[in-house]
Structure 1
Amino acid sequence: MIGTAEAPRARRWDQWSTSRWFASVLIVMVVLVLAGAAVGTAVLSRTASVSNRLSDRISPARTAVVELTAALVDQETGVRGFLLSGDERFLEPYARGLAGERALLARIRQLLEDEPVALADLDRVEQQAREWRTTVADPSIETRRRAGDPAAAVDAVLSGKAAFDAVRARIGTLDGHLAQIRDRARADLDEARQLRDLAFLGMVGFMLLFITVIAVLLRLVVVRPLDRLSVGVRRVAGGEFDHRLAVQGPADLARLTGDVETMRQRIVDAYIASQRARAALEQQQLELHRSNADLEQFAYVASHDLQEPLRKVASFCQMLQRRYSDQLDDKARQYIAFAVDGATRMQRLITDLLTFSRIGRVYDDSRSVDLDEVVEQAEANLAGAITERRARIERPPLPTVPGDMTLLTMLWQNLISNAIKFRDPDRDPVVRVAVGEADGMWQFSVEDNGIGIDPKYADKIFVIFQRLHSRETYTGTGIGLAVCKKVVEFHGGTIRLDETYRDGARFVFTLPRAPAGAEPSAEPAAGGTAETAGAEDGSALTVR
Structure 2
Amino acid sequence: MRVGVCSTLAVLAVLGAVGAWALARTASISDHLVGVRSPALVEAVRLENSLVNQETGVRGYGLTGRREFLEPYTQGVADERAAVARLRRLVGDEPAARADLDRVLDRAEAWQARVARPVVAAQGAEAGRVLEGAGGGKGPFDAVRTSLQEQQRHLTEERAGTSDDLADTRRLRNGVFTAIAAVILLVAALIFEGLRRGVTTPLERLGADARLVAQGHFTRPIAATGPADLRRLAGDVEAMRQRMVGQLEFSEKARTLLDEQAAELRRSNAELEQFAYVASHDLQEPLRKVASFCQLLQRRYGDGLDERAHQYIGFAVDGANRMQVLINDLLAFSRVGRVHNDHDTVDLEAVLEATLDTLSVPVEESGAEITHDPLPTVVGDRTQLGMLWQNLVSNAVKFRAPDRRPAVHVSAERDGDVWRFAVTDNGIGIGPEYTEKVFALFQRLHTREAYPGTGIGLAMCRKIVEFHGGTIAVDPEHEGGARVVFTLPATGADDSRTTVSAGTGRPAS
Mark yes or no: TM-score above 0.5: yes
Contact 2:474 2:484 in 1 (8 A): yes
Relative to structure 1, the CA distance from residue 217 to residue 381 in structure 2 (aligned partners, 3 Å threshold; closer, same or farther) is same
Q: What does the per-residue CA deviation read over 1:103-156, in whole Å, with 9 as the maximum and x for residues that have no partner?
A: 99xx99xx9xxxxxxxxxxxxxxxxxxxxxxxxxxxxxxxxxxxxxxxxxxxxx
> Are positions 1:375 and 2:352 aligned together?
yes
> Is contact 2:12–2:183 with CA below 8 Å preserved after alignment?
no
Note the alpha carbon deviations across 1:374-414, whole angstroms, 9 max, x for none. 11111111111011111110112211112222211111111
* Structure 2 match to 1:366: 343
Matched with 2:204 is 227
Which residue matches 1:32? 11
* Residue 348 of structure 1, aligned match among 325, 334, 346: 325
Paired residues for 1:129-528 under 5 Å: 204-514=181-491, 516=493
* CA 200–333 in structure 1, closer or farther in 2 if over 3 Å, else same: closer
User: Deviations along 1:211-240, whole A, 9 cap, x unmatched?
Assistant: 312221122223333333333334333433
Which of the pair has more CA radius of gyration? 1
Deviation at 1:41, TM superposition (A): 8.4
1:180-210 CA-partner distances (Å, limit 9, x unpaired)? xxxxxx9xxx999999998876665454333
Q: After TM superposition, give the deviation of residue 479 of structure 1 in Å.
A: 0.8
Per-residue CA distance 1:290-317 (angstroms, 9 max, x = gap): 1111110111011111111111111112
Identity %: 52
List alignment gaps of at least 5 residues for structure 1. Answer: 1-12, 14-20, 53-59, 61-88, 112-185, 521-544
Query: 2-side partners of 1:238 and 1:385: how far apart?
Result: 66
Name the CA distance, whole Å, in 2 between partners of 1:312 and 1:203.
110
Contact 2:376 2:494 in 1 (8 A): no
Please, which runs of 5 or more residues in structure 2 have no aligned partner? 34-95, 97-134, 158-163, 498-509
Equivalents in 1 of 2:4, 2:426: separation in Å?
82
Q: Which amino acid aligns with 1:268?
A: V
What SS does structure 2 have at the residue aligned with 1:445?
Answer: strand
Where 2:374 maps in the other structure, the secondary structure is coil
Q: Give, in whole Å, the separation in 1 of the partners of 2:22 and 2:366.
A: 113
Q: Is the 8 A contact 2:425 2:482 kept in 1?
A: yes
Q: Which amino acid aligns with 1:33?
A: L
Q: Report the counterpart of residue 124 of structure 1 in structure 2.
A: none
- Aligned AA (2:360): A
TM-score normalised over the length of structure 2: 0.65
1:136 matched to which residue of 2?
none
User: Alignment partner of 1:393: what SS?
Assistant: strand
- Change in Cα spacing, 1:31 to 1:348, as seen in structure 2 (3 Å) is same
Listed one character per residue, the Cα deviations across residues 508-531 of structure 1 (whole Å, up to 9, x for unaligned) are: 11122235599x9xxxxxxxxxxx
Q: TM-score, normalised by structure 1?
A: 0.61
- Count residues in correspondence: 390
Deviation digits for residues 431-486 of structure 1, max 9, x if unmatched?
01111011311111101000001111111111122111111211111111111111
Amino acid at match of 1:250: P
The DSSP-based 3-state class of the residue aligned with 1:426 is coil
Instruction: Say if 1:426 and 1:30 are closer, same or farther in 2 by CA, change over 3 A.
Output: same
Q: Matched residues in 1 for 2:350 and 2:192: separation? A: 76
Letter aligned with residue 459 of structure 2: A
Give the Å deviation of 1:34. 2.4
The Cα of 1:356 is off from its aligned counterpart by 1.1
Give me the whole-angstrom Cα distance separating, in 1, the residues matched to 2:182 and 2:349.
86
RMSD: 4.3
> 1:243, 1:516 → 2: CA distance?
51
Letter in 1 for 2:269: N
Pick closer, same or farther for the CA change 1:195–1:324 going to 2, 3 Å: closer
Partner-residue secondary structure (3-state), 1:305: coil
